[in-house]
Structure 1
Amino acid sequence: MKILFNTHAKKNRQRLLLSMAFLGLGSIYAQEKTQDSTKIEKLDEVLVKAVRVDAKSPITHSNVSKEDLAKRNLGQDIPVLLNFLPSVVTTTDAGAGVGYTGIRVRGISSQSTNVTINGIPYNDAESLGTFWVNLGDIASSTESLQLQRGVGTSTNGSGAFGASINVLTDAISKTSSGEISNSFGSYNTRKHTVKFSTGLMNDHIEIAGRLSNIVSDGYIDRASSDLKSYFLQGSYVDDNTLIKAIAFGGQEVTYQAWNGLEDLYTLRNDRTYNTAGEYEDNNGDIQFYDNEVDNYSQDHYQLHWNQRYNNLWSTTIGLNYTKGSGYFEQYKADEDFSDYGLVPLDFNGEIVDETDLIRRRWLDNDFYVINANANYKTDDINFIFGGSFSHYDGDHFGEIIWAEYASQTEIRDRYYDGNSLKNDLSLFTKANYKLNESISLYGDLQVRNITYKTTGTTSDLVEFAIDKDFTFFNPKAGITYELNQDNDLYFSYARANREPNRTDFESNENIEAEQLNDFELGWRHKKNNFSFNANVYYMAYNEQLVLSGQLDDVGNPIRTNSGKSYRLGLELEAIIPVIPILTLQPNLTLSTNKNKETIIPFDGELQNLGETDISFSPSIVAANAIVVQPIKNFQIAVLSKFVGEQYMSNTEARSSKLDSYFINDLNFNYSIKTNTIFKEIVLSGLVNNVFNEKYISNGYYYTYDDTWSEANVTTTIEGAGFYPQATRNFLVGATLKF
């Protein structure tokens, strides 16, 4: 692709830097004159100011820069790139980090992790989950990212219940640039990315964009991915104004791999086997349907307007429209006519009421958001207030696109059809107040109202009529005490409430909202290049919606209220410069995660199991990076991750236990400065799972009752499924920067 570079008029440097500082995008420094002096200040990014916290806030968090992401960004999704942060466990259906990936923080599922992009909610309004597969290569357009653990600060969209991830997309570039990246690796994985920026034209306007394509066959059989994505932004800056229009999104086609493996013999002897699309032909031979895929497109359109009025006041308005549409396709054998509303056929006196068929289950949704906030800032107080409103309108419907016996169906008939409407309004006010040279206070109040209404039928042809209204009050408060310039102590309390999602209501229409009281106590130490953070958390829940271990028929995790439960943990992390060329970056989480009482039906009667471990909550999660930089432009990192054993159920059932695992990756980066057409050539490499560990990071657990009619005895049958992760594999890439 030919990239055109625009020359622009002679810049007024002071004016540009001042305007960018007012608007706060990227790592821009500016001179800000006060009555007393002139000082240099690095200002927060305005687009995410309302949802982020700074280094001194009493909120437990990690910051990830563009440079940090770039070192490992060879095609894998954001959750995998965040795998080595404290308390994080990641997994992927296809096994190799491309396609459907997931992240759990402190043992808490992705449905309880709030995600925003430029302050706009990204979680799906109904499932509350985050589907990174719809944002292929978003890491290449990310300026910075902040992961908050615990409730964190008030944010837009569905409430954070264990973590929040807020993403800031590419900042404005003052100079024109271009970039071509290509990477290749195991399982025919490839990533191709082209980026450009015009730089600031006439001191005011920048246009930038990206096109990407990521493809992979996946570690699991046929678990292929084809992810096409784009990012385009146009920006206008002036002394006190920034207007930014952004469009991004793409289309993903992934072969399904959500079934996992239920057969332990197959798991041990053919761990890449994929049952998706499996059927028997007329000769009784096993075949696989070639289009058992998920096919979905999602496009986001954002408009942001930041205005600075004086040295004290600024405002931000953000608008968003997201269009999502797509389906997953399945071959189903010997399906009952009644499951699709079909009328049995009479062939010469023989009734036919079963058929092989191919079905598509569709989602077609529209999502609208408006955010607005105002900021008042002096040397002693930083006060922000504002709100967010979103409206979701989603259609769920199914079609039979082929059937061996078609009954009365017509083309484009919908065998089920439903609609969901959801409105989400939140108002907040938050402030940081510097009481004196040592003590800073933090306060945060949020009121959130959600209305959720559904009509029509589910895919099981069952009427689904939910009409719920929730109003939540979420207060937060904290204090930071600066012992000296090297040490801070902090304490915070946060209250959070969160509504059930669609799958929760489908499994139990009487399911309740969950509540959380989160207490965080921490110590932060930083001196020169050495830093050490310690944090103790206690998260007390009422009716926590924990993963039951079971999945519905389309792979969605089923959750259930657990009454009283808690998570108590200690998080440690450090950056240790051993010698000038060697740095260690360890982190460790030790926790206990308990349901205070677990009562379940088993073998035909209710059984009280007492206190049990919460599902998918390992008591030990640890990571380390050994970073060696023998010369200025060359870096090697050995990345290690340990995840302790965990249960996939809340019953501590032996068959639901996942063993602990310890994996190691090797990452290298070499930058070559040139005087040719390229400004820089960056060579990168990644060897995942160097020691070829056969491990499993995710799975599911299920039970069903089997009643012996003659003896009138009910026995509960247990089973489990597993998602094997890739053994040793590699990715290598080159980036050419113009």
Structure 2
Amino acid sequence: MKSNSIKKSMLTVVVTLSTASFYFAQTTQDTLQKSSDIEQVVLSGVADIAKDRKTPVAVSTIKEAQIVDKLGNQEFPEILNTTPSVYATKSGGGFGDSRINVRGFDQRNTAVMINGVPVNDMETGAVYWSNWAGLSDVTSAMQVQRGLGSSKLAIASVGGTINVLTRAADKKRQGNVTGSIGNDGYNKALFSYNTGKSESGWATSFLMSRTAGSMYADGTEFEGYNYYIALGFNPSAKHDFQFTMTGAPQWHNQRSFQSTISDHIKYGGSEDEPNRKYNQNWGLLNGEEYSMTRNYYHKPVMSLNWDWKINDATKLSSVVYASFGRGGGTGDAGKINGKYYNNLPRTADGLVRFDDIVTWNQGGVVADFGAVNKTPYLANSNNGIIRRSSINSHNWLGIISSLNHKFSDNLNATIGLDARSYKGIHYRIASDFLGNNSYTDTSNINNTPNVITNTFASNADWNPFGGKTNDIKDQLAYSNDGLVKWLGGFGQVEYTKDALSAFVQGSISNQNFQRVDYMLYAPDQQKSEKVDLVGFNVKGGANYNINAHHNVFVNGGYYERQPFFGAVYLNNRNDVNPSLTNEKIASFELGYGFRSAIFNANLNVYHTSWDDIYKRLTTRATINGVSVTGVANVLGINEIHKGIELDFNVKPVQMLTINGMLSVGDWYFKGSPTASFVEDQTNTVIQEGTLALDGLKVGDAAQITAALGADVKITDWLNFDAQYRYADKLYSAFEPSSRLVTVAQPKPADPAVELPSFGLLDLGAGARWNINSTQAFKFRVNVNNVLDKVYIAESRTNKAADANEANNWNGINKSNEVFFGFGRTWNASVSFIF
């Protein structure tokens, strides 16, 4: 069931940080502007892009034309699913809620760069793709560098680096109007125009789009905008200036929680085909779609890049950038007769009964909800349910500057500075009282009890540049700021002569952390102790071109990375972790490449060890008949990630291109660290023992992936493409605390469950009608998961198969909580190029 009304939404501005001035060579008269190989791009600025047969790293490049044609209504990271060792899923399936793993490392440990500027959250390392939902509209090329990568910065590229290059202001003069439709009411309208470079050196590029509808899962209405403005000025051969501002304001209803397979069968499904669209987080309120979990954000980013060619041997590239994110996500607060909203009786279709929650909140009788509300209209944490918003705003300023000097035709060196200042703003407010008049909170020791009477719409603010807009008296549960300052330096020496190219690179960074808590401490004690942590990396590599067809490369490196903010201050308080230590990453890789007019291939083998990983674990135990929660801060978890990767493309005839890849990984835990779980209130140890992790497979990403595709150009105006991809050795996620072995509990819980393998077929077709030399219509249709394959994309639980087969689905215990992948989806578009 979907509501057809898309409410007025806010802006989640995705601002593409333009730190490079570049130009993509034109190829034929194709739609929009086709990018040629990224190696042919004339790049300046701070973006570090791998060059074929020169940069010794494993790399895959996605061109603009591929993104424009094949992405359709998929999530932006999914375009990388046909590259080796990448596993991207839609996660819950809400607009922009996708995630990506590279070589078994999640996106917190994969550096995402926009034109060479890092965008991973400075507190958690996270990347929220909903904040960048419009990035696909303005991308000229995307390159994933697996492993160490070629970036000179001290970034968290444990798994790899994803470099996104946006369109330049000086693209050739051209305009585009596109309209798209898809399954479940998906619709998109886009307009873009490039002025081209004038004789005086000015150039402008502009784009605006709107996307709305619902995603495949039920209860996932959304509306998002995207804008992009690039202004370029090239006053002379020595100076080049580029200013960009981009954003993707959006709101979207989410499917935040995984449901059991049993519920997917119970609510609208069957034993043979569970209901893949089922979403436990939504229902109807006054006849309209209403979700307890709604995300809204506005993250404008702007940058000014200056490239200065000092002389023929020396060049300075600098970028100053700023990001101001405002918004958050909603959830529930309070209970009805001891039950959270998700545990209350549901409709026959499994929907949340929001109308009945309002009735109970106001003192009405809801028979199966239990006792009547004795304090109607007055909600608190134990009586009455409301919807609250968790605000996660930030202010981020930064500068990157690098000076490159060419000592000779063979030797050049780069030194640079990377400085950032970040303030994360975190608090909760009431979003919807759901029939109540107030909510009483007791979290603020300086104002207890606090009776909250104001609610705030769950929409992104169109003016995201202000500070906190809500008074502390309107806040509940928590209110704190995370302050992170970063100062880094880097240097690199490159040597190239004939067939040999080599580099040595090093960087060092100091992170300064401080936490400010407005609720848990008196005013004069709200600021925590400042903590300084130093990290560094060293890496190097060499590529040798044996002849025109064959090349080999090797690289290796060592990182010491500072832990994230949550490891510095324990238990959401200002308490500094006394056992802080850097995470250690060591990586080694060998590669081989083959190039010819018909066949190209790359073969890589890698080994990465990741030591002293921080995890905050929780467990429950019964002490003197009372159930209590214990927390352990574990720093000794280690992982090994190794594997082999192959990718190739074949062009036997002019009209046909075949591409494929195969990656086989072996990712597992090494060692079994000890853990002591401490009860927070009494500070006493309630459980201690060993985490039996040694040899267990790392979950949440397929360790074997393969893909085979073909692009067929029938005529100059008609083309078809097909892509089949396969995933195997996909294990469930699991909490390391479930592996606790103690004297009283000598046997740990089940290890990660291996999920069924799956293969998906995608088809596409495109046509072009040239009106004249500058105007054309382009048509495109994509169908994803053509065979409507039913598969599990991820599981958050690891319950072993039951001895009674009736309790299993496809060999997996039905009590496991999973996200099923989307079924068959489609989109169609028409573009007018002028």
TM-score past 0.5 threshold: yes
**Which residue is equivalent to 1:297?**
298
How far apart in 2 are the matches of 1:737 and 1:503?
49
* Change beyond 3 A, Cα 1:453–1:155: farther
**Which residue is equivalent to 2:240?**
242
Report the CA distance between 1:396 and its aligned residue: 0.4
Report the CA distance between 1:301 and its aligned residue: 1.0
- Alignment match of 1:396 (pick from 421, 426, 436): 426
**Which residue is equivalent to 1:429?**
491
Whether the aligned pair in 1 keeps the contact of 2:535 and 2:562 (CA below 8 Å) is no
How far apart in 2 are the matches of 1:351 and 1:144?
51
How far apart in 2 are the matches of 1:383 and 1:244?
24
Higher percent of residues as strand? 1
Aligned counterparts, 1:727-738, within 5 A? 727-738=823-834
* Change beyond 3 A, Cα 1:502–1:256: farther
Report the CA distance between 1:51 and its aligned residue: 5.8
1:370 aligns with 2:399: yes
User: What amino acid is aligned across from residue 330 of structure 2 in structure 1?
Assistant: E
Q: What do the CA deviations read for 1:648-705 (whole angstroms, capped 9, x no partner)?
A: 22669367443221111012222222228x61222111110011111222231389xx
**Which residue is equivalent to 1:578?**
652
Report the CA distance between 1:291 and its aligned residue: 6.3
How far apart in 1 are the matches of 2:698 and 2:48?
32
How far apart in 1 are the matches of 2:405 and 2:41?
14
Deviates more, 1:401-410 or 1:690-699: 401-410
User: What amino acid is aligned across from residue 541 of structure 1 in structure 2?
Assistant: W
How far apart in 2 are the matches of 1:631 and 1:466?
68
Deviates more, 1:416-425 or 1:200-209: 200-209
Q: What do the CA deviations read for 1:611-659 (whole angstroms, capped 9, x no partner)?
A: 1111224331111212222223432111111111322226693674432
* Change beyond 3 A, Cα 1:115–1:204: same
Report the CA distance between 1:190 and its aligned residue: 1.5
**Which residue is equivalent to 2:275?**
270
**Which residue is equivalent to 1:258?**
256
Structure 1 residue ranges without an equivalent (≥5):
1-22, 30-40, 340-344, 551-557, 704-716
How far apart in 1 are the matches of 2:814 and 2:614?
22
> Secondary structure, in 3 states, of the residue corresponding to 1:266?
helix
**Which residue is equivalent to 1:614?**
698
Deviates more, 1:178-187 or 1:255-264: 255-264
Report the CA distance between 1:606 and its aligned residue: 4.3
How far apart in 2 are the matches of 1:545 and 1:55?
37
Aligned counterparts, 1:64-463, within 5 A? 64-95=62-93, 98-156=95-153, 158-173=155-170, 175-237=172-234, 238-267=236-265, 269-277=274-282, 289-290=290-291, 292-334=293-335, 354-377=383-406, 378-403=408-433, 404=436, 406-407=439-440, 408-411=451-454, 413-415=474-476, 416-434=478-496, 436-456=497-517
User: What amino acid is aligned across from residue 797 of structure 2 in structure 1?
Assistant: Y
Q: What do the CA deviations read for 1:508-530 (whole angstroms, capped 9, x no partner)?
A: 65565321111010001101131
How far apart in 2 are the matches of 1:174 and 1:606?
59
1:632 aligns with 2:694: no
**Which residue is equivalent to 2:269?**
none
**Which residue is equivalent to 2:671?**
597
User: What amino acid is aligned across from residue 567 of structure 1 in structure 2?
Assistant: H
Q: What do the CA deviations read for 1:355-409 (whole angstroms, capped 9, x no partner)?
A: 2222111122100010101122353124222121111012101112454353433
Whether the aligned pair in 2 keeps the contact of 1:546 and 1:615 (CA below 8 Å) is no
How far apart in 1 are the matches of 2:401 and 2:756?
47
Report the CA distance between 1:607 and its aligned residue: 5.9
How far apart in 1 are the matches of 2:668 and 2:141?
34
Whether the aligned pair in 2 keeps the contact of 1:93 and 1:99 (CA below 8 Å) is no
User: What amino acid is aligned across from residue 495 of structure 2 in structure 1?
Assistant: Y
User: What amino acid is aligned across from residue 709 of structure 2 in structure 1?
Assistant: A
1:492 aligns with 2:555: yes
* Change beyond 3 A, Cα 1:471–1:654: closer
Q: What do the CA deviations read for 1:697-731 (whole angstroms, capped 9, x no partner)?
A: 2231389xxxxxxxxxxxxx997421122111111
Whether the aligned pair in 1 keeps the contact of 2:22 and 2:42 (CA below 8 Å) is yes
> Secondary structure, in 3 states, of the residue corresponding to 1:76?
coil
Report the CA distance between 1:132 and its aligned residue: 1.8
TM-score (normalised: structure 1): 0.83
How far apart in 1 are the matches of 2:633 and 2:712?
44
Report the CA distance between 1:570 and its aligned residue: 0.5
How far apart in 2 are the matches of 1:702 and 1:456?
36
* Change beyond 3 A, Cα 1:242–1:170: same
**Which residue is equivalent to 1:7?**
none
Deviates more, 1:164-173 or 1:238-247: 164-173
Deviates more, 1:260-269 or 1:680-689: 260-269
Aligned counterparts, 1:10-29, within 5 A? 25-27=22-24
Aligned counterparts, 1:588-737, within 5 A? 588-598=662-672, 606=690, 608=692, 610-647=694-731, 648-649=733-734, 653=750, 656-675=753-772, 679-701=775-797, 720-737=816-833
Report the CA distance between 1:73 and its aligned residue: 3.6
The alignment-based identity, stated in percent, is 20
User: What amino acid is aligned across from residue 219 of structure 2 in structure 1?
Assistant: R
Whether the aligned pair in 2 keeps the contact of 1:447 and 1:472 (CA below 8 Å) is yes
**Which residue is equivalent to 1:541?**
610
User: What amino acid is aligned across from residue 698 of structure 2 in structure 1?
Assistant: I
Report the CA distance between 1:289 and its aligned residue: 3.8
Aligned residues between the structures: 671
* Change beyond 3 A, Cα 1:562–1:192: farther
* Change beyond 3 A, Cα 1:132–1:287: closer
* Change beyond 3 A, Cα 1:604–1:448: closer
> Secondary structure, in 3 states, of the residue corresponding to 1:675?
coil
Whether the aligned pair in 2 keeps the contact of 1:95 and 1:724 (CA below 8 Å) is no
Q: What do the CA deviations read for 1:222-276 (whole angstroms, capped 9, x no partner)?
A: 1222111100011101322111111101211010211121353425533311111
Report the CA distance between 1:505 and its aligned residue: 5.7
How far apart in 2 are the matches of 1:466 and 1:639?
54
Deviates more, 1:71-80 or 1:186-195: 71-80
Deviates more, 1:364-373 or 1:613-622: 613-622
Whether the aligned pair in 2 keeps the contact of 1:495 and 1:517 (CA below 8 Å) is yes
* Change beyond 3 A, Cα 1:176–1:460: farther
Deviates more, 1:365-374 or 1:210-219: 210-219
Structure 2 residue ranges without an equivalent (≥5):
1-19, 27-38, 266-272, 341-372, 441-450, 455-470, 572-576, 620-631, 678-686, 740-748, 800-812
How far apart in 2 are the matches of 1:549 and 1:626?
48
**Which residue is equivalent to 2:468?**
none
Q: What do the CA deviations read for 1:394-439 (whole angstroms, capped 9, x no partner)?
A: 21011124543534334351122101100122211112202x4232
Whether the aligned pair in 1 keeps the contact of 2:335 and 2:385 (CA below 8 Å) is yes
* Change beyond 3 A, Cα 1:136–1:254: same
User: What amino acid is aligned across from residue 452 of structure 1 in structure 2?
Assistant: F
How far apart in 2 are the matches of 1:679 and 1:616?
46
How far apart in 2 are the matches of 1:280 and 1:194?
35
How far apart in 1 are the matches of 2:124 and 2:727?
27
Whether the aligned pair in 2 keeps the contact of 1:77 and 1:133 (CA below 8 Å) is no
Q: What do the CA deviations read for 1:569-614 (whole angstroms, capped 9, x no partner)?
A: 0000111123333222111111111112245889996463531111
Report the CA distance between 1:172 and its aligned residue: 3.6
Report the CA distance between 1:179 and its aligned residue: 0.5
Whether the aligned pair in 2 keeps the contact of 1:641 and 1:664 (CA below 8 Å) is yes
* Change beyond 3 A, Cα 1:62–1:615: same
